[in-house]
């Protein structure tokens, strides 16, 4: 029986665990917080799939490739969109109650989609509904779960990943504590990284505090190829209050518009699609208009939708706005861009295999190629389901053949120096400055926001790289120090990737390079 270790408990991790167990694998799920925590439960907008009569997977694929600014992998996108309908049916069988209307399943429109194909549950609680259904399935089936157990490093023996080292301050299956604070080795025949994204690289993010890039950093230290780290998606509409809670793309899909400080709707000056242009276009337009008005936020105007519609369709956002003192049915609310999603990650093939035998990656931690330079709205949950299904089918054999992924010398592919030969890293990170000051997370986040954020240039990226290289990681003794080491390693790799890609494309905008053609023509 193949022993499978799944690190992470969002849609991709839990889906992989459930399906691998069904295939006869001995599965253990490891998660650094509670089983139900993570970015999946925060997803508001919904899940995209071409399941309606006026739509087709090929149309969904075309929209996905267009949003990715020409850098998406067409075969990966075909798999994503062709398999979408089957995965929606699976979610319904798992117990997800998608919203319905008189025609059947309700659907919404979001930016850069040419058809209304976004399914939602509980209005703006789609991710929470999916997370609850999958957690319930894991619990009912009795899968082994280690909560509050933090990934430290991959264990590599003979060129193959055979497990992880972890700080096990957690609970087994939600029961008694396990080796509180001890570093343990968990061995397996196959390791699946499903650790999510890295929004906490930045001062402002829509992500939960678990999004610290643990899987990408650990994989890079072990020598796995990582790619496209320069492509970080900034969501254009986060509420401009501490914590920057997300205001879903679906609100603009329902007709809300963005206005500047003088009340002008400015997006049509940038792109003929206005508020429904791809996220990178809208986020840049918001960022630049804020700069023109002295840094003041722009506002999202949904007042014409009315109080009943807003509360019924977007109950979570409605509650967040009102808790912050805004009645968005009567007044526009201030919004700013915030780090939202990582298009890059551990490079995989179409079955989740990485360049290291024994290691798979699924979900946001993986770079499957479906997102290219910019993710199409509501494709993230779909990617998690589609590629987790494929990885689970592949796991039972757990063969040692690595995937065909970008070479480490490619400008968009990176691997940790000599990490594969070292096995488990004996160093805290890629540090070379033994006497350097220990990194402070808040300083790193501020640096990344300023120089490796929504807009970059060579001078700022070089300055950021020098500052990052001058810091060293803390000794890893608990979850916080493990996360800080991962953030430092990933920040260095991200800055290097952004410096190497000298052209502006998708979510990677260089102030010292020409703007994308569509924006130039529309200006």
Q: What is the pLDDT of residue 397?
A: 78
Q: pLDDT tens digits for 62-102?
A: 999 999 999 999 999 999 999 999 999 999 999 999 999 99
**Torsion angle of the four alpha carbons 145, 225, 342, 282, in this order, in degrees rounded to the nearest 10:** -160
The rounded distance, in Å, linking the Cα atoms of 89 and 95 is 10
Q: What is the pLDDT of residue 511?
A: 94
Name the β-bridge partners of 238: 246, 336
Q: What is the pLDDT of residue 398?
A: 67
Q: Which long-range contacts link 519-523 to residues 24+ away (Cβ below 8 Å)?
A: 519/270, 519/271, 519/281, 519/284, 522/269, 522/270, 522/271, 522/272, 523/269, 523/270
Q: pLDDT tens digits for 236-270?
A: 999 999 999 999 989 999 999 999 999 999 999 99
Q: pLDDT tens digits for 385-430?
A: 999 999 999 998 765 556 666 544 444 455 544 333 333 333 466 6
Q: What is the pLDDT of residue 426?
A: 39
Q: What is the pLDDT of residue 416?
A: 47
Instruction: Give the chain's mean pLDDT.
Output: 91
Whether residue 452 contacts residue 494, with contact meaning beta carbons closer than 8 Å, is answered with: yes
pLDDT band for position 356 (50/70/90)? very high
DSSP single-letter state for residue 270: T
Section 299-319 average pLDDT? 96
The rounded distance, in Å, linking the Cα atoms of 41 and 485 is 26
- Least confident piece of the model among 12-26, 316-330, 405-419, 480-494: 405-419
Q: pLDDT tens digits for 123-170?
A: 999 999 999 999 999 999 999 999 999 999 999 999 999 999 999 874
Q: pLDDT tens digits for 44-53?
A: 989 999 999 9
- Element at 446 (helix H, strand E): helix 441-451
How do beta strands 333-342 and 257-259 pair?
Answer: unpaired
Share of the chain above pLDDT 70, in %: 89
Share of the chain above pLDDT 90, in %: 85
Q: What is the pLDDT of residue 418?
A: 38
**Torsion angle of the four alpha carbons 386, 391, 392, 396, in this order, in degrees rounded to the nearest 10:** 160
Query: Which domains are seen in the chain, by residue range?
Result: 236-338 (3.90.700.10)
Active-site choice (252, 279, 472, 479): 279
- Least confident piece of the model among 78-92, 175-189, 288-302, 374-388: 175-189
Q: How many CA atoms lie within 13 A of 47 on its CB side?
A: 37
How do beta strands 345-347 and 160-172 pair?
Answer: unpaired
Section 187-203 average pLDDT? 97
279 is catalytic: yes
Q: What is the pLDDT of residue 428?
A: 60
Q: What is the pLDDT of residue 415?
A: 54
Closest CA to 364 of 43, 36, 3, 2: 43
Whether residue 297 contacts residue 240, with contact meaning beta carbons closer than 8 Å, is answered with: yes
3-state SS, residue 136: helix
CB environment 93-130: b (16+ within 10 A), e (fewer): ebebebbeeeeeebbbbbbbbebebbbbbbbbbbbbbb
- pLDDT for 174 beyond 60: no
Section 372-396 average pLDDT? 96
3-state SS, residue 340: strand
């Amino acid at each position: 029986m193949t022993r499978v270790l799944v690190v992470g408990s969002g849609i991709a991790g839990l889906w992989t665990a459930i399906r691998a167990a069904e295939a006869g694998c001995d599965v253990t799920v490891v998660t650094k917080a509670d089983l139900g925590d993570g970015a999946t439960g925060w997803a508001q907008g919904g899940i995209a799939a071409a399941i309606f009569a006026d739509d087709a997977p090929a149309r969904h694929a075309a929209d996905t490739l267009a949003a990715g600014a020409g850098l998406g992998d067409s075969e990966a996108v075909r798999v994503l969109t062709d398999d979408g309908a089957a995965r929606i049916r699976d979610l319904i069988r798992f117990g997800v109650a998608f919203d319905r209307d008189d025609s059947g399943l309700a659907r919404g429109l979001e930016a850069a989609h040419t058809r209304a194909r976004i399914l939602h549950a509980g209005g703006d609680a789609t991710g929470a509904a999916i997370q609850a259904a999958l957690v319930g399935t894991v619990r009912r089936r009795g899968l082994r779960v280690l909560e509050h157990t933090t990934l430290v490093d991959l264990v590599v023996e003979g060129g193959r990943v055979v497990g992880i080292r972890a700080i096990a301050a957690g609970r087994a299956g939600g029961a008694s504590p396990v080796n509180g604070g001890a570093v343990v080795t968990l061995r397996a025949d196959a390791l699946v990284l499903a650790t999510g994204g890295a929004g906490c690289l930045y001062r402002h993010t829509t992500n939960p505090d678990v999004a610290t890039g643990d899987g990408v950093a650990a994989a890079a230290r072990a020598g796995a190829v990582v790619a496209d780290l320069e492509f970080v998606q900034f969501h254009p509409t986060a509420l401009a209050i501490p914590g920057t809670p997300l205001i879903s793309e679906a609100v603009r899909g329902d007709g809300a518009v963005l206005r500047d400080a003088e009340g002008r709707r400015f997006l049509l000056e940038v792109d003929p699609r206005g508020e429904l242009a791809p996220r990178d276009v809208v986020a840049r337009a918001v960022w630049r208009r804020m700069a023109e008005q002295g840094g003041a936020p722009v506002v999202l105007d949904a007042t014409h939708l009315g109080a009943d519609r807003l509360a019924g369709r977007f109950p979570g956002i409605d509650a967040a706005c009102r808790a912050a003192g805004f009645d968005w049915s009567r007044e526009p609310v201030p919004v700013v861009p915030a780090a939202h999603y990582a298009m890059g990650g551990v490079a995989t093939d179409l079955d989740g295999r990485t360049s290291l035998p024994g290691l798979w990656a699924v979900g946001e931690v993986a770079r499957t190629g479906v997102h290219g330079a910019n993710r199409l709205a509501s494709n993230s949950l779909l990617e998690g389901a589609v590629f987790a299904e494929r990885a689970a089918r592949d796991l039972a054999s757990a063969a040692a053949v690595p995937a065909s992924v970008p070479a480490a010398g490619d400008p968009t592919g990176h691997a940790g120096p000599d990490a594969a030969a070292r096995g488990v890293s004996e160093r805290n990170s890629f540090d070379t400055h033994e006497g350097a000051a220990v990194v402070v997370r808040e300083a790193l986040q501020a640096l990344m926001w300023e120089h490796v954020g929504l807009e970059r240039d060579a001078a700022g990226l070089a300055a950021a790289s020098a500052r990052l290289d001058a810091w060293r990681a803390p000794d890893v003794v608990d979850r916080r120090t493990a996360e800080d080491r991962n953030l430092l390693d990933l920040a260095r790799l991200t800055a290097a990737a952004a410096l190497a890609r000298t052209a502006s494309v998708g979510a990677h905008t260089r102030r010292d390079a020409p703007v994308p053609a569509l924006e130039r023509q529309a200006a």
